[in-house]
Amino acid sequence: MMRVLVAYASERGGTAEIAEWVGDGLRQAGVDADVRPAGEITTLEGYDAAVVGGALYGGRWHRAARRFVRRHADALAQRPVWLFSSGPLDRTAEEQEIVPAPGVAKAARRVGANGHATFGGRLAPDAQGFLASKIAKRMSGDYRDRAHVTEWAAGVARELRRVTV
């Protein structure tokens, strides 16, 4: 069975939960998925493919996601890889495909990623931190769509079967 690493970088837990949904979607499609925080991963040995996700803040991918791709670029380039971002605090991610942020696009080119998706984000009304609390006053809410994430993960699984046959 194909074994896929789902590595994620999350600040407030919303992206971590999306990564779990990706893992669930892969498993439902018959793929063995291991969901782990990007900062805890030291090797990609034993994985046939990878999905890397990170939260977007101010148009930048989470630092741990960027660092993970840089540290493991050679190993990622030898496997099928997909990237995802989470962050828009509105429904645009459901309504249209969102072009990856520049840093995410650079990471995708670096590892030859097979694809990228942007999913809606989540911000609690009582978010802590100066900037987060300011944004939460105007745009708090949960804009993630589990069905959309699961559908994307199923597409990744279909593509994996196609590239490994």
CATH at 108:
3.40.50.360
Mean pLDDT of 116-136: 70
40 vs 11, which has greater pLDDT? 40
Confidence class for position 156, pLDDT limits 50, 70, 90: very high
Q: Which residues pair with 125 in a beta bridge?
A: none
Q: Which residues contact 138 (CB under 8 A, 6 or more apart)?
A: none
Query: Could you give the CA distance from residue 118 to residue 18 in angstroms, rounded to a whole number?
Result: 11
Whole-angstrom distance, CA of residue 19 vs CA of residue 5: 10
**Total domains, the chain:** 1
Full domain range(s) for residue 131: 3-164
pTM score of the predicted model: 0.91
SS3 133: helix
Beta-carbon contacts of 58 under 8 Å, excluding residues fewer than 6 positions away, are none
Helix (H, G, I), strand (E, B) or coil at 65: helix
Query: For 123, how many CA atoms within 13 A lie in the half-sphere containing its CB?
Result: 23
Confidence band of 90 (pLDDT split at 50, 70, 90): confident
Task: Give the model's pLDDT for residue 77.
Answer: 97
